[in-house]
Amino acid sequence: MRLSLVMPIAVLAFTSLTPALKAQTASSPAALTPPMGWNSWNYFAGKVDDKGVRAAADQIVSTGMKDAGYIYVNIDDTWEGKRDENGMLHTNDKFPDMKALADYVHSKGLKIGIYSGPGTRTCAGYEASLGHEEQDAKMYADWGIDYLKYDLCSFRSDVMQKQSPNDKAEQMRLMHAAYEKMGKALKATGRPIVYSLCQYGWDSVWEWAPALGGNLWRTTGDIQPNWNSMYTILSQQAGLEGYAGPGHWNDPDMLEVGNGRLSPAENRTHFSMWAMLAAPLLAGNDLPNMKPEVKAILTNRDVIAIDQDKLGKQASRVYSEGEVDVWMRHLSGGAVAVAVLNAGSDRYSTHPFHLDLAKLGLHGEQKGKDLWTGKNVALTQGMPLELPSHDILLVRIDAPK
Ligand code: GLA
């Protein structure tokens, strides 16, 4: 599939920001571009330990991922031990000294993240933060934590269903209040800590999370390392582009690049589209055993530059024709990125996909760069594209017409 694409930008209707979002954008010092790093859950789940996190930090440096922008080393669920008589939460045996681990990660020029939730228990059944929000936030700050993922889980049964079994709206208000409480507790520490909401998109979280101090919020359920999961989540991001911007991002979940049954084409498409979505790029694979082709995808600087573009505008799905989707993202300096992705079977020269540049607001030949071959391409109106199944054409056009 080689394609040429070109042209100026389509006039896409980006939802204008609400005053609350504008205020957040102006004041938030954290996550001015989508956070990049690694998270333990997608590959290690409950097997994560101190040694594995140190190894991940080492690999982020030695593989060149750090230089490519991956900075956060995030410990997900299962680090938690028990609370003592003062309510202080301790780590479990897998993490003998969290402060020392944070110091180690920082010594590599990286940042460290951690995980909790507003209920009594995390999703994996470990101790969470209900009733200890300020205490936990202060402890994170004392350890030197830079990022918190806060996962709803047992708050549903502990509080929402218990306190208001028959009133869904009140349940949602309780949920907002719980996220606000931790947002305030983090702020009160005085340490910049990226605040990541994880409640699977309930109650249109993108509409209220920024005002509560959220820097990113999961929009959807948990990703799995297979095409159907990734593509379903991707499709559910269409229309949310107005809610993303510097300091506040939609989070379609962590990367599965290099995990499970994803083929090389599927890994490329997943990574390309998360970049188009201005999504956090949190690798979730086994870094010490990463295959070269996976590393090449995760460290593609041109694709990362799309994700990290300073303008912070998330892509829109401009049109679909059957199982081919065409997305476009506006970039700083008037550039655009165009992605053509084939979710169906192979398209051969007998019946290729014909790219309609006019639908993108582009007129005439568009000169650009194919970000996976690195070659210059020209896109023209109606040009035929032979697209392999589940593969993507991703083109950057610096001077669209
Ligand atoms: C939930 C989250 C996942 C992960 C697990 C940990 O399922 O959505 O991303 O954090 O909990 O238990």
- Token couple for 112: 């460290």
User: What global pTM score does this model have?
Assistant: 0.93
Relative to the CA of 223, which ligand 1 atom is closest? 9
- The mean pLDDT value for 298-322 works out to 98
Average pLDDT on 103-131 reads: 98
- Round to whole Å and give the CA distance between 260 and 263: 9
In the predicted structure, residue 1 carries a pLDDT above the cut 80: no
Query: For residue 2, is pLDDT > 50?
Result: no
**CA-closest candidate to residue 204, choices 18, 12, 13, 11:** 18
As for ligand 1, residues whose beta carbon falls within 6 Å of it are: 41, 76-77, 122-124, 151, 198, 222
Least confident window among 9-23, 277-291, 384-398: 9-23
Instruction: Give residue 116's pLDDT.
Output: 99
What integer pLDDT is reported at residue 35 of this predicted model? 98
Q: Which residue has the tokens 């083929």?
A: 263
For residue 10, pLDDT beyond 50: no
| Minimum CA distance residue for ligand 1 atom 9 | 222
Does an H or E element contain 228, and which? helix 227-235
pLDDT tens-digit profile of 371-393? 999 999 999 999 999 999 999 99
Percent of the chain's residues with pLDDT above 90: 93
251 is annotated as an active-site residue: no
Residue 57: predicted pLDDT? 98
Q: Tell me what pLDDT residue 29 has.
A: 62
Name the average pLDDT for the chain: 94
pLDDT score at 30: 84
Distance (angstroms) between ligand 1 centre and the Cα of 222 equals 7
Give the DSSP letter string of 105-172.
HHHTT-EEEEEE-SSSB-TTS-B--TT-HHHHHHHHHHHT--EEEEE-TTHIIIIIHHH-TT-HHHHH
User: Phi and psi (nearest 5°) for 282?
Assistant: -110, 100
Per-residue model confidence (pLDDT) at position 24? 41
- Please give the average per-residue pLDDT across 15-33, as a whole number: 54
**What are 178-207's pLDDT values in tens digits?**
999 999 999 999 999 999 999 999 999 999
Distances (CA, A) of 62 to 59, 95, 112, 265: 5, 23, 17, 25
In the set 151, 307, 309, 391, the catalytic residue is 151
Confidence label for 12 from pLDDT (cuts 50, 70 and 90) = very low
Whether 8 has a pLDDT exceeding 50, the answer reads no
Segment 219-224 mean pLDDT? 98
List the catalytic residue out of 58, 203, 222, 356.
222
Q: Is residue 222 among the annotated active site residues?
A: yes
Q: State in Å: Cα 388 to ligand 1 middle.
A: 33
